[in-house]
Structures are given as structure tokens and as C-alpha cells.
Amino acid sequence: MKIVIAPDSFKESLTAKQVCESIEAGFAQVLPDAEYVHLPLADGGEGTVEVLLQGLEGEVRQSQVMGPLGDSTMASWALLDNGQTALIEFAAASGLDLITSEDRNPAIATSFGTGELIKEALNLGVTKVLLGLGGSATNDAGAGIAQALGAKLLDNQGNEVNPGGAALAEIATIDLSDIHPRSKDVEFIVACDVANPLVGENGASYVFGPQKGATLELVQSLDSAICHFASVSASHTQVNHSDTQGFGAAGGSPLGLSLVFDIQIKRGIEMILDVLEADKVLEGADLVITGEGQMDNQTLQGKTPFGIAKLAQSKGIPTIGIAGSLGHEIEDLYSTITSTFGTVRSPQSLEQVLNEASNNLIRTARNIAATLKLGAQILD
């Protein structure tokens, strides 16, 4: 019996690799002779570099860049394919985790550091860039990225505007004459797990701004500022991306990226599955086990469990999902994921849940395996 274990991380508690190990530990108590294949996954956000480097040969690099509030930070990224492909996580240089909750301020947070990572990759001669969006602290619509790569965002006086989302409202003209000379020489793939448009009630500011520290009043002004930036940008891109699906990811960063690159937006999990050749890993599998910290109706919106389950389903392989908790409308998943299991036994504090994540996962996996074994015996 071949069992492929293909989960995302359990945020703040277990990496995807650790989730794989815990699930196998539980299953092996009941099914010790099964063949277990680990396929740790991510959806393009945090953990993407780690996951891809586990499945592919590559070189991890460390770069000193500007953090989201203008301070200096050390960011990890990677080179794959003998230096031809750069793998960058937006969160590494411009992530929410780099700022204390008290200091979060999307009005001034900048994506400049992510642009510096991209610039370094271009200088090294890469021909492809894979940028995973997620976990961003910014709401500057990628303006900082564009500036790091040579774009000049000028106000009515011809001065460059300040960093951050609020200053987008001051942009009068955009000068791309000094843009990085290799910007059109690379294939640029943006991986994200959301389909939100750039602006409006479902856009970057309204949906994601509050978790970055924005009040309702600030959300409204940030949305207006991005809308203005999109209008000015349209004179260069020939497209107003205000309603473009996916452009609301990472504080609207695809907008600034589109000023510099001919970007392709892909579902993060689809990119990961493709790069890791997951279809080959699933060959001959009898069962797939997947999971993430919480599974709910949002899992259908391009999250890791849905992505791997959909691929498995196309090959006639059933999938079981395990999550720390099961949220609303979980029944919507059952057309793709055969069954889902939560691991938390009783009401606990968040600290307890995080500390006991591995043990809870092992116990749940063991019980699932025992149920499968019993079912096989009954039907035999």
C-alpha cells in the first residue's frame, strides 16, 4: 500500500515536513508495512522556499535588504536549476512577521526589500523568477518593488513619493526610463492563493488591510490611493488592473510588478505541484493524506489540500484531510476530499494547541489508520 503524505504547514506550530513525519508516525503504528512517501507542500506563501528546496537541488542565499518599515533585514531566498531560476518569498523581506503587532502600519510599509531581492537575482543572470506572495506587511501595490528596480514614482513637483501605501495618492507621473535592463529578459511567475481584485470591498485594502494594522478610515484611504496608482499605471501598461483577479494579493503587489515585468499569476499550489512534479509522485498511490492548520470553505480557494486533492482525484486516488481545526461549511470539500478530521480533542488555549500539535496529529493519524484497517477487515 502506497500512501503519499502531502500537507501544508500548520501555521506557528509545525512545518510541512514535520507534519509529514507526524502523520507517518501515527499511521505506522497501525500500518507498519505500508510505503510512505512524503511530499511537503506550500501554497506560494511562507515556507515555499523550504518546501521546494526539500524536493529540488538548490542554493540558499542570504541578502541584506530593506525591511517593510525601512530598517535593515536579512532575507533568505534560493537559486534553482543551476542558477537559472530565482525562488523568492515576498514575506522574507516584506513580511508581517518582521514587524511587531504594535508597529504595523500599511500606510508607510514598503515592498522595496522584495524588489532588492529580485534585482540581485537579475544581476546574477537568472532567466526565471518565481515569487511567492503571502504574509505581507505592505499595502503599497508593489510600488516599492518597482522603485527598487529603477522606476521613479513622481509627485506634481517632480519629486519621488515617500514609501508606503498612503503616498500612492500623490503619484502624478511614472518614469520607467531607468528600469532594470534585464526586466524583459526573464520569465516572471507570481504565485498566490487568493483571487481578490486590486480595489473595492474585496480588494487588497479592505480584505487584508485590517490584519496589517489599518483602521477602517485608513482602509478607505489606502483603497483610494491604490485606485489612483492603478489609473496612473494604466498609461504604461495599457490596462487598468483595478478589477484584475489576483492583483489584490500581497497588498496589491502585482500592480507594481506589472510595471516592470510581463508577469504570469498562478495559483501558488498549482505552481508548487508543477515544479515538484507531484503527478509523478502520485503514480501508483493508493491514498493521499493532506492537511493544514485549519480547513474550511476557504480551502476551496486554491489552498494546498484542495490543490493536491484535485490532482489525486484526477488519477482516481482518494484523499483524506487532517487539520488542527475544521471550520465553516467543511461539507463543501467532500466532492474532492473524501473525509476530514480535526486533531484538537477538547477546548484548549491557543498556546496548548500549538504546543501539542504534533502529538494531536500523531494520535489522529493513528485513529484514521485503525479505521481504514477495520473497514478493510469488515469488507473482506
> What's the grid cell of residue 100?
511587531
User: With 80 as the cut, is the pLDDT of residue 353 above it?
Assistant: no
Report pLDDT for 236: 86
Q: How far apart are CA 372 and CA 31, in angstroms?
A: 10
Domain ranges of the chain: 2-40+286-379, 48-269
What band does 104 get if pLDDT is binned at 50, 70 and 90? Answer: very high
Residue with the larger pLDDT of the pair 275 and 110: 110
Protein fold of 48-269: Glycerate kinase, domain 2 (3.90.1510)
> Cα-Cα-Cα-Cα dihedral of 347, 352, 357, 359, to 10°?
-90
Q: Which of the given ranges, 100-114, 264-278, 347-361, has the highest pLDDT on average?
A: 100-114
Mean pLDDT of all residues belonging to the chain = 94
Report pLDDT for 8: 94
- Coil, strand or helix at 328: coil
User: With 90 as the cut, is the pLDDT of residue 244 above it?
Assistant: yes
What band does 206 get if pLDDT is binned at 50, 70 and 90? Answer: very high
CATH fourth-level superfamily of 2-40+286-379: Glycerate kinase; domain 1 (3.40.50.10350)
What band does 141 get if pLDDT is binned at 50, 70 and 90? Answer: very high
What band does 35 get if pLDDT is binned at 50, 70 and 90? Answer: very high
Give 3-29 pLDDT, tens digit per residue: 999 999 988 789 999 999 999 999 999
Give 216-235 pLDDT, tens digit per residue: 999 999 999 999 999 999 98
Give 285-338 pLDDT, tens digit per residue: 999 999 999 898 878 877 899 999 999 999 999 999 999 889 878 888 999 999
Report pLDDT for 309: 97
Report pLDDT for 354: 78
Q: How far apart are CA 233 and CA 259, in angstroms?
A: 7
User: With 70 as the cut, is the pLDDT of residue 238 above it?
Assistant: yes
What band does 346 get if pLDDT is binned at 50, 70 and 90? Answer: low
| Average pLDDT over every residue of 109-122 | 99
Lowest model confidence (mean pLDDT) among 165-169, 252-256, 356-360: 356-360
Nearest one of 163, 179, 180 to 171, comparing CA atoms = 163
Q: How far apart are CA 286 and CA 299, in angstroms?
A: 23
Nearest one of 378, 380, 365, 379 to 30, comparing CA atoms = 365
What is the percentage of the chain residues whose pLDDT exceeds 70?
99
Nearest one of 6, 2, 26 to 17, comparing CA atoms = 6
Give 149-201 pLDDT, tens digit per residue: 999 999 999 999 999 999 999 999 999 999 999 999 999 999 987 889 999 99
| Average pLDDT over every residue of 55-82 | 94
Nearest one of 253, 156, 243 to 212, comparing CA atoms = 253
| Contact (CB, 8 A) for 113 and 59 | no
